[in-house]
Amino acid sequence: MENCAKLTNMVQETTFDNGVRVVTQQVPGMHTVSIGVWVSNGARCEQPSEHGVAHFIEHLLFKGTHRRTARQITREIDSLGGVLNAFTSYEYVCYYAKALARTLPQVVDILADMFLHSTFPADEIEKERKVVLQEIKMRDDAPEESIHDRLHQSFWKGHPLGQPILGTDQIIGSITRDTILEFRNHWYRPSEILIAAAGGVEHHALVELLQEAFSCLQPGEPRRGLQTNSRVSAGRVLELCERDLEQTLICLGTVGLPTSSPERYSLMVLNAILGGGMSSRLFEEIREKRGLAYSVYSYVSSFADAGTLSIYAGSERERSCEAVTIILEEMSRLRDEAVPLDELEAAREQIKGKILMSLESSDSYMSRLARSYLNFGRYQPLDEIMAGFDAVTADDLQQLATRLFRDETLNIQVMGKVDPHCFTEKSKLIAL
């Protein structure tokens, strides 16, 4: 076992001989601890015949081990006053728990047991298959969610990033236990595992709790290659989906940046100005001034090698073309005009304030710590992050907008009671 030197802000790291990493951040005065087992894989690791398997496995790890039934897992964590949950993204899966610091040994025992010793019983697979299929139906029945899936599928056409994380009912309905176990055994390898903990935690005590369980993991076969970078679809895309909805939903996307891009701070500020809050340009123009939409916002999705910037709005059918026009006008304005200094400073302070306010719980600390190591291979001190935002200039934003807001990378999805003639005609007039 290799012990790394102590880092700043009470952050410490230990790497087991097999490659499993343990990182902790001790937060003075905090009586809770959050611990997460992160695996550097996710939906983008799946083959076409496996879509949805990473998320399916996330469900199944709660369904019993050699020592505990599914019911015993939930009852034991409840008896500690803790919470136990998990989530799947495109690039990692996380199993996490939060509880009082004094219960950490029991929490680690439960978390390690389910992560390492789940038995995947056939009857539980069939039960959970029905649950996941219902989850897929819920997604498909929720237009505010499914339109984002349509955007990703169109934008990342032919790429794993375009596939829904939940999978499809056809694949989930037929996927076998052997396929599930093969995926789990291949991707849940020591070199892909990061265990992060934050709050009232002592590093060496946690390492002792984890070492026996996790150091026995074997490296396994070489990792399968990933399909990387690449937006397969090219050229402006405008797709209309007729559905009987009260509103017309609009989702618009263009290229973004990879997670570790040196320009990531500029992108976050650009997003905040465009549609990242109630003082953003889109919110003020579309909702406050014109009353075109109740909900309008933009967001950034970043991955190891690529990314997107997306905008969502829900509008009346008769005014949906107007809403799209305004969105594109605001994107063009960011490209053509320098952002005023006061607006830039306000956006920077908004982002910095949100980051600082989020660090009021152990789970927030744990998540930020893990993502820092997963995305950058090291801990990023808050001072470094704040300095990154402070360094963003109006010229940086304009140059970035010029690169990203291009007609040939624009994808527009419209869902609802759509007037095809209106959008077909207007789309020729609203090119960036």
258-291 pLDDT tens trace:
999 999 999 999 999 999 999 999 999 999 999 9
Q: What is the mean pLDDT of residues 300-312?
A: 95
pLDDT at residue number 317: 86
Give Cα separations from 242 to 317, 413, 414, 419, 420 (angstroms): 11, 11, 8, 9, 9
CA angle 329/330/332 to nearest 5° reads 65
The third-level CATH classification (topology) of the domain covering 237-426 is: Cytochrome Bc1 Complex; Chain A, domain 1 (3.30.830)
pLDDT at residue number 427: 55
Q: Which of 13, 46, 50, 58 is catalytic?
A: 58
99-109 pLDDT tens trace:
999 999 999 99
Q: Is the pLDDT of residue 429 over 60?
A: no
120-141 pLDDT tens trace:
999 999 999 999 999 999 998 8
246 is an active site residue: no
pLDDT at residue number 228: 62
CATH no. of 2-214: 3.30.830.10
**Residue 411 is inside which H or E element, if any?**
strand 411-416
Please report which confidence band the pLDDT of residue 6 belongs to, taking 50, 70 and 90 as the band edges.
very low
Please report which confidence band the pLDDT of residue 423 belongs to, taking 50, 70 and 90 as the band edges.
low
pLDDT at residue number 99: 97
Q: Is the pLDDT of residue 229 over 80?
A: no
CB 14 within 8 A of CB 22: yes
Tally the C-alpha atoms within 13 A of residue 144's C-alpha that lie toward its C-beta. 9
In the chain, ranges of CATH 3.30.830.10 domains: 2-214, 237-426
Alpha carbon distance 318, 326 (integer Å): 14
CB 423 within 8 A of CB 241: no
164-215 pLDDT tens trace:
999 999 999 999 999 999 999 999 999 999 999 999 999 999 999 999 899 8
Residue of higher predicted confidence among 215 and 56 = 56
CB 244 within 8 A of CB 417: yes
Share of the chain above pLDDT 90, in %: 80
Share of the chain above pLDDT 70, in %: 92
Q: What is the pTM of this model?
A: 0.92
332-349 pLDDT tens trace:
999 999 999 999 999 999
Strand 93-100: give its sheet, edge to edge. 2-3, 11-15, 21-26, 193-199, 32-39, 93-100, 83-88
